[in-house]
Amino acid sequence: MSDPKITILFYSTYGTNHAVALRASEAMKAAGADVRLRRVKETAPKEVVEGQDAWKQQLAAMDDIPEATPDDMEWADGYWLSAPTRYGVVASQMRAFIDTLGGLWQEGKLANKTFTATTSSNTSHGGQEMTLQSLYTSAMHWGCILVPPGYADPIKFEDNGNPYGFSKTAGEITEVEGKSIDYQAKRLVQMTGKLVG
CB atoms within 10 A of CB 185: 29
Burial class for 91, CB neighbours closer than 10 Å (0-12, 13-18, 19+) = buried
Report helix angle 16-30 to 175-196, nearest 10: 50
Mean pLDDT of the chain: 96
The pTM score is 0.96
144-175, pLDDT tens digit by residue? 999 999 999 999 999 999 999 999 999 999 99
Domains along the sequence of the chain with CATH: 5-196 (3.40.50.360)
Return the pLDDT at 18.
98
64 near 35, Cβ under 8 Å?
no
Residue 1 has pLDDT above 60, yes or no: no
8/16 Cα distance (integer angstroms): 15
